[in-house]
Amino acid sequence: MPGGKMKFDEDLGPDREDDFQTDDEENQAERVFDNLDDDTESDNNNPPSENLSFNEVDFNTSWPQTYRTSMDMLTSVSKTPPGINFFKIIGSTGKISVPKESIQDESTNSLTLPLVSEEKTSIGKEEPTSKPQLRSHVSCPKVSATEFSSPERQSSFAQSVTNGTNILCGIGLMTIPYAVKEGGWLSLVILILFALTCCYTGILLMRCLQSRPELNTYPDIGQAAFGIAGRLGIAIILYMELFGSCVEYITLVSDNLTSLFPDTSMNLAGTELSTNQVFSITAALLVLPTVWLRDLSLLSYISVGGIFATTLVALCLFWAGAVNQVGFINPRMKILDIENISVSIGLFGFGFAGHAVFPNVYSSMKDQSKFPLVLYISFVFCLVMYVSVGVVGYLLFGDKVQSQFTLNMPKELYASKIAIWTTVVTPLAKYALTLLPIVSSIEELVPSPRLRCYAMSIVIRTSLVLASLAVALSFPYFGSVMALIGAMLSMIVALIYPCACYLKLHSGRLSNMQITTCILVIIVGMISAIIGTYSATTRIAGKGD
């Protein structure tokens, strides 16, 4: 800010605070003015189909504002992950506060701190006086500084491949042998087709981002294509998918601990808890302190190591089969099971739906032209992993394979213990980061500035953990719940929405082949979503995997 050092709103007198807000509004006015100029020039050179109105691509007031920051915490390895305390939700007035680190007062009560701390904002030049008429336009801005500005391109090619692979190789791997059992050997063909299709739709998301320089995230694409309803719709679906993953983490930990300690039980206030219920509650209690953390940097490092944990679990399965001779003699296997193949479709859809973060990976790359190669390598690696684990797991355990292949591995073997404990520890580390985007989006909606404090953040986070625990206790069916998430949500995220946005944003400039391909993918996604959702719901209602 010209003529002085930046200070907190609390330390500014009434007049100084008004000056600060005025300067801040003028800053935003200049940014919007420059944006308008750029849009005008680019629109003159673009076909009519690209001439989207300013409101269609203006993301200033659009919820969620914290999507990119929170999703980057979950997946990025490009640099030291920023602590959540470096960011603050921008209020509805659009006022951007200055970082608290500039105040050397250490006596501030932590319960009065904001939910998410401020990001450092520098003001580098005088605001021109020739554009004051835009102040009324920006008095109700629509974006935080972290979301509206173009993201810093810092990820190398290797880091981007690691990010992409880490997104895809997650807990979905645990269910692949079970999915092959449900659909039979020929279901592997569907697995391969899903990999190819999801890779293609990932490329479509890249092309959507390239259509407008303002687009950085999946919700941005949704708003550019279908307005605010498109942004809200895809954001809600993405958050539902993340919440479902949190539920699955609790169930995964509970099932594996139950296999290690099957005789555990507890009487709580006269209610007898089963082993599975005891360990579900234990898992929730273990993740609760990590959810309360204000700085999740350490957890983000553990999270991006998920690819190595997944590979380790797969290697333990291979070792148990090849060296320890684990498995049933002449296990029963099927070539094709039409009746249950819909379950396989949902599980395969969950495994390849990394599209929520693909735009973030693209936006953070130094050389964005290599993004298709990043996708190819990531999908090929994960496809090889999935097929290998699916084949080996089904060969070893046949129709006895459970929804998590670690539950079939003999507990006395070292390979089994390594696989099970790795499966237990990894979700505990990833839970808080998976929940973070949901927490941040809810904290944005807190109406009163007085309620935007750490105490309210604790209430929100604890409530979400308890909600995920309640769902896990009510529906402790790992495979069926994952199939439901994959069919009902992942099909929209990975197949339907990318094609719909691509057709909308590039209307009038696509060949008949491109249009036909997108429509075909949408139809396949809708059919898969319908039959997969029905099948998974029926199984859950029948109380079992």
Q: How confident is the model over 461-497, as pLDDT tens digits? A: 999 999 999 999 999 999 999 999 999 999 999 999 9
pLDDT of residue 155: 83
Q: Are strands 271-273 and 266-268 parallel, antiparallel or unpaired?
A: antiparallel
Beta carbons of 194 and 486 less than 8 angstroms apart? no
| Per-residue tokens: 46 | 């673009």
Among 489, 321, 306, smallest CA distance to 393 is for: 321
Phi, psi of 122 (to 5 degrees): -105, 145
User: Each residue of 143-153: pLDDT tens digit?
Assistant: 333 333 444 56
- Residues in contact with 508: Cβ distance below 8 Å, sequence separation at least 6, in sequence order: 47, 48, 49
Length of the chain, in residues = 545
Cβ atoms within 10 Å of 493's Cβ, excluding its own: 24
User: Each residue of 295-350: pLDDT tens digit?
Assistant: 777 766 666 677 889 999 999 999 999 888 887 666 678 899 999 999 999 999 99
pLDDT of residue 523: 98
Residue 46, pLDDT above cutoff 60: no
Integer CA distances (angstroms), 453 to 116, 120, 353, in order:
8, 19, 34
Confidence of residue 76 (pLDDT cuts 50, 70, 90): low
pLDDT of residue 152: 58
pLDDT of residue 1: 46
Q: What is the mean pLDDT of residues 501-525?
A: 96
Q: Is 506 helix (H, G, I), strand (E, B) or coil?
A: coil
User: Each residue of 351-408: pLDDT tens digit?
Assistant: 999 999 999 999 889 999 999 999 999 999 999 999 999 999 999 999 999 999 999 9
| AA letter at 312 | L
Confidence of residue 92 (pLDDT cuts 50, 70, 90): very low
Q: What long-range pairs does 232-241 form, CB within 8 A, spacing at least 24?
A: 232/63, 234/493, 234/497, 235/63, 235/64, 235/67, 235/441, 237/489, 237/492, 237/493, 237/497, 238/356, 238/437, 238/493, 239/437, 239/438, 239/441, 240/489, 241/353, 241/356, 241/485, 241/489, 241/490, 241/493
Q: Is the peptide bond before 14 cis (omega within 30 degrees of 0)?
A: no
| Per-residue tokens: 171 | 């807990």
The HSE-up count of residue 1 (CA atoms within 13 Å, CB side) is 20
Beta carbons of 429 and 289 less than 8 angstroms apart? no
How many whole angstroms separate alpha carbon 399 and alpha carbon 424? 25
Lowest mean pLDDT among 226-235, 388-397, 441-450: 441-450
pLDDT of residue 329: 65
pLDDT of residue 349: 94
User: Each residue of 96-142: pLDDT tens digit?
Assistant: 333 344 334 433 343 334 444 444 434 344 444 444 443 333 333 33
Domains, the chain, with CATH or none: 150-541 (1.20.1740.10)
pLDDT of residue 101: 40
Rounded to two decimals, what is the model's pTM? 0.77
Confidence of residue 219 (pLDDT cuts 50, 70, 90): very high
Q: What is the mean pLDDT of residues 174-186?
A: 96
